[in-house]
Chains A and B, each alone.
Chain A
């Protein structure tokens, strides 16, 4: 089960792809996390097509447009994708959806490529110019920070097995306090 901390950050990543979807009037938007141990790109947040089906699913880090972008660390827009093999077929089959066009930006922090942010089938008027990549870059920077925090947290939990239990205890105590306040009015706090 996700901790409250992880749930907050999942919500942040989800809000980024939700906003990207809305701004570009797109069919879908996704954030992929680069899993260095498995050398895979893993869906971390999805909005629109594939939402609820793809989170947690991974594919080789060199596959598809996301693989291009992760490897080259360069943002790009690709059109005319219909009929192309390079967009990951397994993903297309899982969602029964193949995009016509795609915008992709690497998620970077310092000297690391953390993942990729994609927008699928943005409205043609929303992606007509190269300038539109800059807007996506702004979202990418938010996503990069969120991914970085999540990973640091995961490392902290790994290095200190009791951290998750302590946090869970704190969360339960907080929830209990809130519940008691609802039932009997405010409690004195130390």
Chain B
């Protein structure tokens, strides 16, 4: 059966003004003024988070997927970041939601480059722990893991764990950002860090600030980076703000809140 014509768009090629969306139904855009992410548990599934980084602040828990008897298993571990990617993402989340709780699950590291099951196990564990928001600035191209990842993502959707996943920025199929049960994020090219754009032409559902983003850098410093990896934590931070005001929202409701919050969505006059 032919698939729907869903382009592998990964970034916003139009200007935000060209992507106006009018809606005939309207509740209200979430009021995020004063929201800090307090009480929201955010998990960063990545390369770890560097402890003590001034742009990241306290980390409530550090875990890593390890291989035991050939099988991946999650263990509590000493906080560290094996390459810096996770620290960069965590710093963005902290900037947007300064009082959220940050947890790290390391699924990237030496020997893991070819092991997609490490990624799946880390995500499954994070969902089982009931984290409110899970940041995935990565994806896997392994088709044989798609069904398993889809099942874990559906499970997260119904357990109120919001998975925020980077759209791949290459024209290839990868997972889990393609699944409707997650919130998928690409980059816009605007300089406004607070700008969120809803995409009326999915599968990428939202575009956020991913171009020339100042991020936390290993060793305590900061650098400027570009890529979907850095757009995604902006949306993760927004989800934490939304949930700190309304902790019982479902993933469906959080996604709608983001839709209402997106600057290009306007009520039909």
The 0/1 profile, CB within 8 Å of B marked 1, for residues 49-85 of chain A is 0000000000011111001101111111111110111
Q: Which residues of B contact A111 (CB under 8 A)?
A: 116, 140-144
Given contacts A84-B223, A111-B142, A137-B170, contact A74 B113 (CB under 8 A): no
Residue B109, interface by CB 8 Å: yes
Q: Which of B61-69, B77-85, B148-156 contacts A (4 or more CB under 8 A)?
A: B77-85
With beta carbons under 8 angstroms apart, the residue of A36, A81, A85, A108 that contacts B170 is: A108
CA–CA, A85 and B110, complex, Å: 18
With beta carbons under 8 angstroms apart, the residue of A73, A79, A108 that contacts B225 is: A79
Given contacts A72-B85, A73-B174, A111-B141, contact A79 B110 (CB under 8 A): no
Q: Which residues of B contact A34 (CB under 8 A)?
A: 113
Q: Which residues of B contact A129 (CB under 8 A)?
A: 189, 211
Interface residues on A, range: 35 or more
CA–CA, A151 and B174, complex, Å: 23
Q: Quick one: closest B residue to A78, CB to CB?
A: B225
Contact call A85/B138, Cβ cutoff below 8 A: no
Q: Which residues of A contact B140 (CB under 8 A)?
A: 73, 111
Contact call A39/B170, Cβ cutoff below 8 A: no
Contact call B108/A62, Cβ cutoff below 8 A: yes
Q: Quick one: closest A residue to B215, CB to CB?
A: A78
Contact call A86/B141, Cβ cutoff below 8 A: no
With beta carbons under 8 angstroms apart, the residue of B141, B142, B170, B189 that contacts A131 is: B189
Interface residues on B, range: 35 or more
Q: Quick one: closest B residue to A79, CB to CB?
A: B224
The 0/1 profile, CB within 8 Å of A marked 1, for residues 209-226 of chain B is 011100001110101111
Residue B169, interface by CB 8 Å: yes
Q: Quick one: closest A residue to B89, CB to CB?
A: A72
Chain B interface helix/strand/loop/mixed? loop
Contact call A106/B170, Cβ cutoff below 8 A: yes
Residue A159, interface by CB 8 Å: no
The 0/1 profile, CB within 8 Å of B marked 1, for residues 115-143 of chain A is 00000000000000111011001001000
CA–CA, A134 and B210, complex, Å: 14
Contact residues of A between 78 and 113, Cβ < 8 Å to B: 78-81, 83-86, 105-106, 108, 110-113
CA–CA, A113 and B174, complex, Å: 12
Q: Which residues of B contact A133 (CB under 8 A)?
A: 169, 226-227
Q: Which residues of A contact B219 (CB under 8 A)?
A: 84-86
Contact call B170/A105, Cβ cutoff below 8 A: yes
Q: Which residues of A contact B144 (CB under 8 A)?
A: 111
Residue B166, interface by CB 8 Å: yes
Shortest CB distance A118–B (Å): 14
Contact call B47/A71, Cβ cutoff below 8 A: yes
Contact call B113/A72, Cβ cutoff below 8 A: no
Contact call A74/B229, Cβ cutoff below 8 A: yes
CA–CA, A51 and B141, complex, Å: 32
Q: Quick one: closest B residue to A132, CB to CB?
A: B226
Shortest CB distance A24–B (Å): 14
Given contacts A71-B138, A85-B219, contact A76 B225 (CB under 8 A): yes
Contact call B228/A110, Cβ cutoff below 8 A: no
Given contacts A62-B109, A79-B223, A130-B226, contact A72 B138 (CB under 8 A): yes
Cβ contacts A to B, 24 pairs, < 8 Å = A62-B82, A62-B109, A62-B113, A64-B83, A68-B47, A72-B47, A73-B139, A73-B140, A74-B139, A74-B227, A74-B228, A76-B225, A76-B229, A79-B223, A79-B224, A84-B217, A84-B221, A106-B170, A108-B141, A112-B114, A130-B210, A133-B226, A137-B170, A137-B171
Known interface pairs A112-B114, A133-B226; 9 further A-B residue pairs with C-beta atoms within 8 A, sorted by A's residue number: A70-B113, A71-B109, A77-B225, A79-B223, A85-B219, A86-B219, A111-B140, A113-B141, A130-B189
Interface residues of A (CB under 8 A from B): 34, 36, 39, 60-64, 67-68, 70-81, 83-86, 105-106, 108, 110-113, 129-131, 133-134, 137, 140
Interface residues of B (CB under 8 A from A): 11, 13, 46-47, 82-85, 108-114, 116, 137-144, 166, 168-172, 174, 187, 189, 210-212, 217-219, 221, 223-230
